[in-house]
Chains A and B, each alone.
Chain A
Amino acid sequence: MKIESIHISGFGKWSDVTFDLNDQWQVVFGPNEAGKSTVKAFILGVLFGFPKGRKAGNQLYVPRSGAQYGGSLVLSTKKGRFRVERLGRTKSSLTVTALDSDLEMPNPEKWLADLIAPLEESDFRQVYSFDESELSAVADLTADDFDQVLLSYTRPQAQRFLKWASDRQEEGQALFAQGKNGKRPLNLANREYQELLAQRPVEQEKYSRYQRLLKEQKSLNDDLEQVKQSEQELLNQISEQESLAKAWPLFEQSLKLQNDGGSKTVDQEIQPEIVQQVQRFEQSEKWLSEQQEANQEKVNQLRAVLDEPKEKNQDQLMIADFLEELMAIRTKKQEFVQQLTNFAAQFDHGLPKTLSVQEQERANKSSVLTTSLGGMALVLAIIVVATFSAPLGLGIGLVAAVLLAKAYRDYQARQVIFDRYQPFNLAEAIEKQDDVALAWQKQAKIQALDKEETLAKKQLSDSLLFYQIIDQGDFTNWSSDRLVEWTNNWLQSQESASADKTEQVLNELLTAGQTLAKKLADQKQSLNQVLSQYGVSQLVDFYQLVDEKKADETAQEKRQLIHEQIGQKRYDRLQTLFQKYGEQSAFQLEGKLKNLRQHLQAIREEERSKQQQLANHQSEMNRLIADGGLAQLEQQLANQESDLEVAYTRYLAKVLAKDVVNQAFLGQEDSLSEQVLEQASAYIAQLTRGRYQELKLEKGHLFLSEAADETKMADSKQTFQTAELSAGTRDLLFLSLRLALANTLHEEEPLPILIDDALVHLDAERREATLALLQEVALDQQVLFWTFDEKLNTGQAINLLEY
């Protein structure tokens, strides 16, 4: 790329000025303050942007004239001719116009960047822009720095990267110190990890412990099984012993029964039928005896009766008495009845009632008086009524009525009395009053006798009933007459029958008595037979025997029961025990039981303790199981490893960044550097007129070798480190390298080299050589050379004073 022309609209001291440039060697002449640096700054500003003024003290080149800041460059590139216009400082606008087509580039910044790419502004400034201050600065560098600086010029971008990589390295080192006991984050992490790792044996120990516990648990379980078995056996023994102890009293009883019974051993069984038979014999004997006795008694009785005079039976006597009584009453009664009947016959109307005193009076009285009085009163009444007054008359009438009524009544009463005593008259009636009264008394007596008769009749009939002579139903309706008659008949018959009957009865009784006696004798014989079978003669003995037998049987049964209750086995054992210990058996049983129980207690204690142990084991095992154990530790370790891997990867990347940069730029074979060195060697040879021929790079240091001297030996080339060079040579070396770089870089589109008063402190000879070289270089690449050397203000030089 070459700059064809510069048009400044407003920049520093320049305003609206155009410079046309030579496309190869272009001298720009102007003394100090003529604005040389301004132009250079302008070029750089258009290409890369005007100074922003962020840093204090930066030259801003604000145009004094007040014209629009900026301007344009016309560039000719391989792609054509372009005008690059940048106007305005703070808000600059960039336009890139293709002059062939008059088209504006759509993305001017990019176009510019692409033009210079891969270089950036700093690279361009470093490589393509030389000035005095740099050269002088070079002179001040120490030997080591010189190499670095020189070398850094061979790879300007590398420098930037290297700086960046150094920063990363520092960061890395802040993370991790290589030495021991570092306190940086990664060192601490390492230590944490190691601590975790150290726990591994602890976890393994825990696991071993778990295994041991498992084993112990198993053996404890076995032990416990055994203990339980023993316990069970013991429990069985105890229950047996207890049952023996319980059975002991029964056994004792059984023994007692055995001992008591058997005082009279009877060989034979006494069958129950036999006993019943005997009992029957006894009973019938008894009955027969009783019969015999009764019979005898009756016989005696009858004999007595026959021997003694007959007496009437009592019953007969009684009946006779009653009969007499009845007959007497009847007779009396009949007498009175006869008398009464006779008396009553006199009267027409039967026996009349006696007159009362009143009646007697009345009978005597006459009522004539009353009647007459009554009649008179009546007449009077009528008169009065008719003459004087009715009421008075009526009153008198009333009196009259009363009198008449009374008279009538009296008359009636007398009539009645007359009727009663008919046919007698009143006076006779009164005379007979005493007889009448007497008659009435007899009447009363008859009635009383009736009553007595009834009673006597009853008495008689009752006794007949009593002696069972008549049945009830037969004679309730009988009259007294009939009764009397019958009873008389009966009495008579009784007397005659009784005597014969008695003789008959007596004979019967005697016969019966004999039969009984025989029966009794037979009975007694049979009984004795039976009894003798059993060796007894007396019934009493027999029954005693039966009782004894029964007692024996009962005892035997009881013993059998006891035997069953106890059970054969236990019985045998108790038997053995008794044989051994006799009376002390019970004591022995108790003693053994106590022993067994104590033993049981001990076993149970042991069982409890074993169970406690097992429980403890289990809880510890549970703790160990719940604990994450080795697996958890390994997970933690894995997690930390993962973190450490990530962290160290980052660390390594940081610390290796520099190596990568070096690798990228240095390499074993850096052809670009070689190219640069080759070119630089050529230049230095030229500049030193062949004194120094070769510039080499070894292990990061530059070496300059002298030309072979024909006068010396063939292989006696002298090689000098840059530190060993003179200041002047060093300057030249610097220049050579810079030029070589500018020359070899960016080959596709060579960029213009801007040199600003860079040769000032070179001596004349060196300056000449340099200028010559520069002009040679300019043949390939545009070189703009700012100077105040008058000598160079020739021909095509731009004289700034003219603008």
Chain B
Amino acid sequence: MLSFIHAGDVHLGNPFTGLSKNLPKSFQEAVADAGYVAFDRLIQQAIQKQVDFVLFPGDLLHGAGQTARLQATLVKGFLALKEAGIQVLLSFGNHDYQAYETVQNAWPDNVHIFSHEVQEKVLMTRSGERVAFVGFSYADRSERRDRLADFPVRNESVDYEVGLYHGAVGQVGDDYAAFSIEGMLQKNYDYWALGHIHIREIMHEQPVIAYSGNLQGLNRKETGPKGALLVEDRGQGLEPTFLDLAPVRFQTVEIADCLSFLDLMEQLKQEKYDGQTLLSVELKGTIPADLQADQASGRLLDKIQLSLSDSDTVWPIYVNLTTSQQLVKPAFAQMDFEQAIQQTVAGQSLTDSLSDEVPLSIREYFAREEGRTAVQEALKELFSEGGEA
């Protein structure tokens, strides 16, 4: 019976964001290797489970994938699949569309690449079943055309029809090949392998329309186990099971009402960490003043890292304090500081304070909402700790 692996958003070569350059050595290596290790594990699982196909519905690479190690890893993996009789179906998404031109000749012939136009490819499984795969590759970053309309209706001459689609739910004309679930259901396929959203989610059952999530988490918002989906037909249609493949995991831990720094560290050390974990700590409820002071001066994360420096499995990368205290409105003040902060940050261009020497990406960061919010938060912390002193 048909079985295949659905691995969207592998993002090989994509760096992890939100890490400091003083990451300890073991983690630096783990981070550098993480994508490759996850990919190798994917290949191993495919061979072990003797699937018929491996599907990559977009964003296999980061950018044009111009790293020797990356290309060598891919070629090696594809050749291993070829030897095991497994074929690869691949389309390019919004992050790796640039690679479309360059890789055509470099990969072995068991790799089938979808062109910029929607294509249907019919292939055979080991046991002789005929499977049709339909998909397309991005031509540019945004892909605003209505791609779903070009997908043909279920081909009756094949045993299974599977759609590969890299995009997001939305209105026609939106970015990222916007589609609707109903539109997909109308095509009457047996399975839709989606890519683009990094969170694993089954959008619809019977037939299954699912995002596999990315193969390896890349920042502190992509927490929990990451990997790919093993899709098998066990008699009731194509059903996915999750394969946990990522060697490095992001995890967020909430500590409420901790009593002191020591208490905080106790609790953190007692947590169970699967493999190598990059940890985000959220402090809630009542927070001791010394911790707040450390956070305002930027020392809290350093202290937590120092305390956990002998651990090989966990490294803290982020600390956030959610206090219930409001910023006081000082006497004679027109407004409380919170409002003042908002208005100050909204009212001016932060980049005015940054000279040209500051790297462009940093300046862009502060021109974006993300940067402004960060500055607002920092000001809040600053004013909650200071001022009264």
Q: A interface vs B, CB < 8 Å? A: 118-120, 123, 154-158, 161, 164, 168, 178-180, 182, 186-187, 190-191, 193-194, 197, 203-204, 206-207, 210, 214, 621, 624-632, 634-646, 648-657, 659-661, 663-667, 669-672, 745
Which of B35, B66, B379 sits near A656, CB closer than 8 Å? B379
Judge whether A627 and B68 touch: CB under 8 Å.
yes
Which of B31, B68, B336, B386 sits near A206, CB closer than 8 Å? B68
Question: With a CB–CB cut-off of 8 A, which chain A residues contact B336?
Answer: 664
Question: With a CB–CB cut-off of 8 A, which chain B residues contact A627?
Answer: 68-69
Judge whether B69 and A660 touch: CB under 8 Å.
no
Which of A180, A656, A661, A667 sits near B345, CB closer than 8 Å? A656
Q: For the complex, what is the distance from the CA of A203 to the CA of B68, rounded to whole Å? A: 10
Judge whether B67 and A631 touch: CB under 8 Å.
yes
Question: With a CB–CB cut-off of 8 A, which chain B residues contact A661?
Answer: 340
Min CB gap B313→A, angstroms: 20
Question: With a CB–CB cut-off of 8 A, which chain A residues contact B344?
Answer: 656, 659-660, 663
Which of A193, A207, A660 sits near B337, CB closer than 8 Å? A660
Which of A197, A621, A649, A652 sits near B359, CB closer than 8 Å? A197
Q: For the complex, what is the distance from the CA of A666 to the CA of B343, rounded to whole Å? A: 12
Judge whether B298 and A650 touch: CB under 8 Å.
yes
Judge whether B331 and A648 touch: CB under 8 Å.
no
Question: With a CB–CB cut-off of 8 A, which chain B residues contact A645?
Answer: 362, 365, 371, 374
Q: Does B341 contact A (CB under 8 A)?
A: yes
Judge whether A178 and B355 touch: CB under 8 Å.
yes
Judge whether A157 and B330 touch: CB under 8 Å.
yes
Question: With a CB–CB cut-off of 8 A, which chain A residues contact B383?
Answer: 657, 660
Judge whether A629 and B332 touch: CB under 8 Å.
no
Q: Does B291 contact A (CB under 8 A)?
A: no
Q: With CB as the reference atom, state the residue of chain A lying closest to B327.
A: A664
Judge whether B348 and A659 touch: CB under 8 Å.
yes
Question: With a CB–CB cut-off of 8 A, which chain A residues contact B66?
Answer: 203-204, 207, 629-630
Q: For the complex, what is the distance from the CA of A193 to the CA of B32, rounded to whole Å? A: 19
Q: With CB as the reference atom, state the residue of chain B lying closest to A676.
A: B332
Judge whether A157 and B331 touch: CB under 8 Å.
yes
What string of 1s and 0s marks CB contacts (under 8 Å) between B346-377 and chain A? 01101001110111011001100001001100
Judge whether B375 and A653 touch: CB under 8 Å.
yes
Within B48-79, the residues touching A (CB, 8 Å) are 62, 66-72
Min CB gap B311→A, angstroms: 20
Which of B15, B340, B353 sits near A638, CB closer than 8 Å? B15
Question: With a CB–CB cut-off of 8 A, which chain B residues contact A118?
Answer: 328-331
Min CB gap B78→A, angstroms: 14
Judge whether B69 and A625 touch: CB under 8 Å.
yes
Question: With a CB–CB cut-off of 8 A, which chain A residues contact B328?
Answer: 118
Q: Among B19-27, B141-149, B239-247, which stretch is in contact with chain A?
A: B19-27
Judge whether A657 and B331 touch: CB under 8 Å.
no
Given contacts A629-B68, A648-B354, A653-B379, contact A190 B13 (CB under 8 A): no
Judge whether B355 and A179 touch: CB under 8 Å.
yes
Q: For the complex, what is the distance from the CA of A197 to the CA of B358, rounded to whole Å? A: 13
Q: Does B275 contact A (CB under 8 A)?
A: no
Q: Does B18 contact A (CB under 8 A)?
A: yes
Question: With a CB–CB cut-off of 8 A, which chain A residues contact B71?
Answer: 210
Judge whether A646 and B386 touch: CB under 8 Å.
no
Q: With CB as the reference atom, state the residue of chain B lying closest to A634.
A: B15
Judge whether A663 and B67 touch: CB under 8 Å.
no
What string of 1s and 0s marks CB contacts (under 8 Å) between B272-288 and chain A? 00000000000000000
Question: With a CB–CB cut-off of 8 A, which chain A residues contact B340?
Answer: 660-661, 663-664
Judge whether A643 and B353 touch: CB under 8 Å.
no
Q: Does B387 contact A (CB under 8 A)?
A: yes
Q: Does B335 contact A (CB under 8 A)?
A: yes
Judge whether B334 and A636 touch: CB under 8 Å.
no
Q: Does B308 contact A (CB under 8 A)?
A: no
Judge whether B23 and A639 touch: CB under 8 Å.
yes
Q: For the complex, what is the distance from the CA of A577 to the CA of B169, rounded to whole Å? A: 84
Judge whether B359 and A624 touch: CB under 8 Å.
no
Q: With CB as the reference atom, state the residue of chain A lying closest to B71.
A: A210
Judge whether A638 and B19 touch: CB under 8 Å.
yes
Q: For the complex, what is the distance from the CA of A628 to the CA of B350, rounded to whole Å? A: 35
Q: With CB as the reference atom, state the residue of chain B lying closest to A630.
A: B67
For the complex of A and B, the 9 pairs showing the least CB-CB separation, nearest first, are A629-B67, A664-B340, A653-B378, A635-B15, A210-B68, A638-B15, A118-B331, A624-B68, A631-B13
Which of B19, B70, B106, B334 sits near A664, CB closer than 8 Å? B334
Min CB gap B354→A, angstroms: 7
Please name 17 pairs of A and B residues whose Cβ atoms are closer than 8 Å in the assembled complex, sorted by A. Answer: A157-B331, A161-B387, A180-B357, A187-B357, A190-B358, A625-B68, A630-B67, A634-B15, A634-B62, A639-B23, A648-B358, A649-B378, A652-B353, A655-B353, A660-B379, A663-B335, A665-B334
Q: For the complex, what is the distance from the CA of A653 to the CA of B71, rounded to whole Å? A: 43
Which of B20, B32, B366 sits near A652, CB closer than 8 Å? B366
Given contacts A635-B32, A663-B343, contact A158 B333 (CB under 8 A): yes
Judge whether B375 and A656 touch: CB under 8 Å.
yes
Min CB gap A208→B, angstroms: 8
Q: For the complex, what is the distance from the CA of A330 to the CA of B382, rounded to whole Å? A: 178
Min CB gap B144→A, angstroms: 28
Question: With a CB–CB cut-off of 8 A, which chain B residues contact A626?
Answer: 69
Question: With a CB–CB cut-off of 8 A, which chain B residues contact A203?
Answer: 66-67
Question: With a CB–CB cut-off of 8 A, which chain A residues contact B339?
Answer: 664
Q: Does B17 contact A (CB under 8 A)?
A: yes
Judge whether B21 and A643 touch: CB under 8 Å.
yes
Min CB gap A613→B, angstroms: 19
Min CB gap B119→A, angstroms: 27
Q: Which residue, A180, A637, A642, A655, has most C-beta atoms of chain B within 10 A?
A: A642
Q: With CB as the reference atom, state the residue of chain B lying closest to A207.
A: B66
Q: For the complex, what is the distance from the CA of A628 to the CA of B345, rounded to whole Å? A: 40
Q: Which residue, A182, A190, A655, A669, has most C-beta atoms of chain B within 10 A?
A: A190
Question: With a CB–CB cut-off of 8 A, which chain B residues contact A670?
Answer: 334
Q: For the complex, what is the distance from the CA of A191 to the CA of B358, rounded to whole Å? A: 9
Given contacts A187-B357, A648-B354, A649-B374, contact A642 B17 (CB under 8 A): yes
Q: For the complex, what is the distance from the CA of A645 to the CA of B365, rounded to whole Å? A: 8
Within B259-273, the residues touching A (CB, 8 Å) are none
Q: With CB as the reference atom, state the residue of chain A lying closest to B19.
A: A639
List 19 other contacts, CB 8 Å, given A178-B355, A179-B355, A641-B17: A157-B333, A190-B358, A197-B359, A206-B68, A624-B69, A629-B68, A632-B67, A638-B16, A638-B19, A639-B20, A639-B23, A643-B20, A650-B378, A653-B382, A657-B383, A663-B344, A664-B330, A665-B332, A665-B334
Judge whether B359 and A155 touch: CB under 8 Å.
no
Judge whether A638 and B375 touch: CB under 8 Å.
no
Q: For the complex, what is the distance from the CA of A168 to the CA of B330, rounded to whole Å? A: 18
Question: With a CB–CB cut-off of 8 A, which chain B residues contact A657?
Answer: 379, 382-383, 386
Judge whether B371 and A664 touch: CB under 8 Å.
no
Min CB gap A221→B, angstroms: 14
Judge whether A642 and B382 touch: CB under 8 Å.
no
Q: For the complex, what is the distance from the CA of A666 to the CA of B332, rounded to whole Å? A: 10
Judge whether B331 and A123 touch: CB under 8 Å.
yes
Q: For the complex, what is the distance from the CA of A745 to the CA of B330, rounded to whole Å? A: 13
Q: For the complex, what is the distance from the CA of A595 to the CA of B104, rounded to whole Å? A: 46
Q: With CB as the reference atom, state the residue of chain A lying closest to B382.
A: A653
Q: With CB as the reference atom, state the residue of chain A lying closest to B106.
A: A214
Min CB gap A380→B, angstroms: 154
Min CB gap B34→A, angstroms: 10
What string of 1s and 0s marks CB contacts (under 8 Å) between B98-113 and chain A? 0000000010000000
Min CB gap B96→A, angstroms: 13
Given contacts A638-B17, A642-B19, contact A631 B332 (CB under 8 A): no
Question: With a CB–CB cut-off of 8 A, which chain A residues contact B350?
Answer: 652
Min CB gap B98→A, angstroms: 13
Given contacts A634-B13, A645-B362, contact A207 B330 (CB under 8 A): no
Judge whether B334 and A672 touch: CB under 8 Å.
yes
Q: With CB as the reference atom, state the residue of chain B lying closest to A653.
A: B378
Q: For the complex, what is the distance from the CA of A259 to the CA of B302, rounded to whole Å? A: 107
Min CB gap B273→A, angstroms: 21
Question: With a CB–CB cut-off of 8 A, which chain B residues contact A210?
Answer: 68, 71
Q: With CB as the reference atom, state the residue of chain A lying closest to B337.
A: A664
Q: For the complex, what is the distance from the CA of A651 to the CA of B386, rounded to whole Å? A: 15
